[in-house]
């Protein structure tokens, strides 16, 4: 019975959430390290104001993921695989020892900055529940124009799919699918059209930045965002970290590949339990838990007792 650590992307952060990390030396050490690298204070990262900026959200998500996974590892919990959703992939890369915490912090800072720079209130994302990716691709093709582009983006589950692009176009798709059998269709509260071609320039900048960075072969395989393959090479991990921002995250396929490789325990780093819920719904016989909801001792108990 194998275990995977999951690192969430944007969405479940809340003011002060880094304070909910367990009160342990390795956590404090990680927070301090982040403050030094970023030359800032943790308080200024997860304050209500800071969390309204993409950069701070991404930085603090990475910090939380790394702190939590370091703590689990120190307590003897060793995953067989890791995977991170969107910006969560950077935390996964650190946990797999493919890049350093410092490298990852630099990259997510840059990534967040670039995304913010392209901020345009006309753009955003939506989510549709109850229709398959295929069906949505056909529908979206009818609404997409060069002036008001809209794309099918993340595949969170077979029937929970996000849209990215121009808000008006997204709105039109949402209204249409509500009449075509979607269980739910709504606009997300973000102004960044992530994981679609509109962010190709962010990918280019990340690629350039990583050109000079030395990544290692990961100690454990990472399930990729873009093509749901298991990555075992430094270059493939770099490519996935860069490309993910302008391509759909194949999250369901990525976790499905882990499942087919024998993973039956998924442990999600805080904040939140979005990935935990997705895993529990997709795979009835797995045990998925969130470190937001379950104390570290209990996580360790689950791992030591093979999921019980």
Partner 1 sequence: MVILNNQTQGRNWTTRLDAKKEQLEKVKGMVDGVIIPTEKIVDVLEKLIRPKDRVIMEGNNQKQASFLSKALVQVDPGKVYDLHMIMSSVSRPEHLDIFEEGIAKKIDMSYAGPQSLRIAQMIEDGRLELGDLHTYVELYGRLFIDLIPNVALVAADKADRAGNLYTGPNTEETPTFVEATAFSDGIVIAQVNEIVDELPRIDIPSSWVDFVVQADEPYELEPLFTRDPRHITDIQILQAMMCIRGIYEKHGVQSLNHGIGFNTAAIELLLPTYGEQLGLKGKICRNWVLNPHPTLIPAIETGWVESVHCFGGELGMEKYVEARRDIFFTGRDGSLRSNRTLAQLAGQYAVDLFIGSTLQMDALGNSSTVTKGRVAGYGGAPNMGHDPGGRRHSTEAWYNMMTSKDELARGKKLVVQVAETFQAANQPVFVERLDAVDVKKQAGLAVAPVMIYGEDVTHVVTEEGIAYLYMSDSPSERRQMIAAVAGVTPIGMKHDAKATALLRERGLVALPEDLGIRRAEAKRSLLAAKNIDELVQWSGGLYEPPAKFRSW
130 binds partner 1 (CB under 8 A): yes
Which residues, listed in sequence order, are joined to residue 288 by a DSSP beta bridge? 266
Residue number, 166 or 256, with CB nearest to partner 1: 256
Q: How many CB atoms lie within 10 A of CB 292?
A: 20
Q: Which one among 41, 52, 74, 132 touches partner 1, defined by CB under 8 A?
A: 132
181 binds partner 1 (CB under 8 A): yes
159 binds partner 1 (CB under 8 A): yes
Q: Which one among 261, 277, 283, 294 touches partner 1, defined by CB under 8 A?
A: 261
Residue number, 59 or 244, with CB nearest to partner 1: 244
Q: Which one among 222, 228, 242, 267 touches partner 1, defined by CB under 8 A?
A: 228
Q: Which one among 19, 43, 120, 134 touches partner 1, defined by CB under 8 A?
A: 134
What span, in angstroms and rounded, lies between the C-alpha atoms of 271 and 244? 21
307 binds partner 1 (CB under 8 A): no
The 47-86 contact track toward partner 1, x by CB under 8 A, reads ----------------------------------------
Binding range to partner 1, per CB under 8 A, among 161-169, 211-219, 240-248, 252-260: 252-260
Q: Which one among 33, 35, 73, 253 touches partner 1, defined by CB under 8 A?
A: 253
Q: Which one among 39, 146, 212, 260 touches partner 1, defined by CB under 8 A?
A: 260
Binding range to partner 1, per CB under 8 A, among 13-21, 49-57, 227-235, 273-281: 227-235
The residues of the shown chain that bind partner 1, judged by CB under 8 A, are 130-132, 134, 158-159, 181, 227-229, 253, 256-257, 260-262
């Amino acid at each position: 019975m194998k275990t995977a650590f999951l690192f969430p992307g944007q969405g479940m952060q809340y003011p002060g959430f880094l304070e909910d990390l367990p009160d342990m030396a390795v956590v404090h050490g990680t927070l301090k390290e982040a403050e030094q690298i970023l030359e800032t204070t943790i308080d200024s990262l997860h304050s209500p104001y800071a969390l309204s900026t993409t950069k701070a959200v991404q930085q603090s998500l990475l910090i939380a993921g790394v702190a939590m996974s370091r703590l689990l590892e120190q307590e003897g919990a060793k995953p067989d695989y890791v995977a991170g959703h969107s910006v969560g992939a950077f935390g996964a890369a650190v946990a797999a020892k493919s890049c350093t915490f410092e490298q990852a912090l630099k990259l997510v800072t840059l990534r967040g900055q670039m995304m913010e720079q392209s901020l345009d209130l006309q753009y955003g994302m939506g989510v549709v529940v109850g229709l398959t990716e295929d069906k949505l691709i056909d529908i979206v093709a009818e609404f997409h124009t060069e002036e008001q582009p809209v794309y099918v983006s993340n595949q969170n589950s077979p029937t929970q799919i996000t849209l990215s692009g121009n808000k008006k176009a997204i709105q039109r798709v949402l209204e249409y699918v509500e009449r075509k059998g979607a269980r739910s269709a709504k606009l997300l509260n973000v102004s960044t059209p992530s994981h679609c071609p509109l962010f190709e320039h962010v990918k280019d900048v990340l690629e350039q930045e990583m050109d000079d960075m030395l990544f290692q072969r990961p100690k454990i395989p990472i399930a990729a965002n873009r093509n749901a393959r298991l990555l075992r090479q430094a270059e493939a991990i770099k490519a996935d970290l860069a490309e993910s921002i302008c391509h759909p995250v194949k999250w369901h396929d990525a976790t499905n590949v882990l499942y087919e490789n024998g993973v039956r325990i998924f442990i999600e780093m805080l904040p939140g339990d979005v990935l935990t819920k997705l895993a529990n719904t997709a795979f009835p016989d797995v045990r998925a838990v969130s470190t937001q909801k379950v104390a570290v001792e209990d996580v360790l108990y689950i791992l030591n007792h093979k999921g019980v």
